[in-house]
Amino acid sequence: MTDCSSCVVRNRAICASLDADELLLLGKMGRRQRVKAGHTLLWEGDDAPVVANVLDGVLKLVVATADGREQIVGVVFPSDFIGRPFGKTSPYSVTAMTDAEVCIFNRNSFDTFASSHPDLQQKLLRRTLDELDRARHWMMLLGRKSASEKVASFLLEMSERLSGQGCDAGTLDKGFELPFGRQQIADILGLTIETTSRQLTKMRAQGVLDLPSRREVVINDRAAMVVMAG
């Protein structure tokens, strides 16, 4: 059982629409689980017996070709929902990029609960549509954008996701710390680590951003970054 009232993503997760009694029922179904970096929670094409809210950390969604080549098709953060409600198999693998914590539910039990709670179903629908929008954006990012556009687009999205939900532009510009290194950024964007590092160095030389450490990023000129993102 998990205590939903003390959940760190309580106001941002899909269960935010539930009242106290409903949260108590849902909490009895869930359990918190730590996921070590590199561990796979769900495998592409396999039965998907669980769904989960991300409480902490960052996980990647990966699809693979028959010969083993992989492509990261999405990245999920705290308050995001993973798994396939009302489905049987996972369309992608879900692997932790950092140490993470999830609130995990048996899929069948969650499906039964969701079926009797229209507000939760509506949240799931909205989340699905948001994911569809992100997937279309991702297709443009990977398929049509140049290396500089990819890196700029990625940093803008990370600033919004990692600096807190609903921040204003001034707060966002204070900087953020990436939860993964440059090699993982390169893997996400389909670039080499050399190209990724070269683009970051170029942006710093132009004064668009600062890199106080290997993972800390401070965007100095958001308008210029938006232009660079295409």
155 burial level (CB within 10 Å; 0-12, 13-18, 19+): buried
pLDDT tens-digit profile, the chain (230 residues):
667 877 888 888 888 878 888 888 888 898 999 999 999 999 999 998 999 999 999 999 998 888 888 888 888 999 899 988 888 899 899 999 999 999 999 999 999 998 888 888 888 888 788 877 777 777 777 778 899 999 999 999 888 888 654 334 444 456 888 888 899 899 888 899 999 999 999 999 999 999 998 889 999 999 999 999 98
Taking the model in full, what pTM does it have? 0.79
Query: DSSP secondary-structure letter at 123?
Result: H
Say yes or no: 102 and 44 in one domain: yes
121 and 9 inside one domain: yes
In this structure, what DSSP letter does residue 47 have? B
Q: Count the domains in the chain.
A: 2
pLDDT of residue 152: 93
How far is residue 208's CA from residue 24's CA, in Å, rounded to a whole number?
47
How far apart, in whole angstroms, are the C-alpha atoms of residue 93 and residue 62?
5
Are residues 150 and 198 located together in one domain of the fold? yes
**Residue 120 burial (10 A CB sphere; 0-12, 13-18, 19+):** buried
Residue 209's pLDDT is: 94
Task: Say yes or no: 86 and 135 in one domain.
Answer: yes
The side-by-side arrangement of strands in the sheet containing 70-76 is 40-42, 93-96, 59-64, 70-76
Q: Looking at the structure, do residues 66 and 90 belong to the same domain, yes or no?
A: yes
Q: Compute the CA torsion angle 176, 179, 184, 185 (nearest 10 deg).
A: -20
The closest of 165, 196, 184 to 58, measured between CA atoms, is 184
Contact indicator for 93, 44 with CB cutoff of 8 Å: yes
Regarding whether 117 and 41 lie in a shared domain, the answer is yes
Q: Looking at the structure, do residues 87 and 120 belong to the same domain, yes or no?
A: yes
- The whole domain housing 202 covers 146-228
Three-state DSSP state, 120: helix
For residue 43, the model assigns a pLDDT of: 93
C-alpha to C-alpha distance for 14 and 158, rounded to whole angstroms: 21
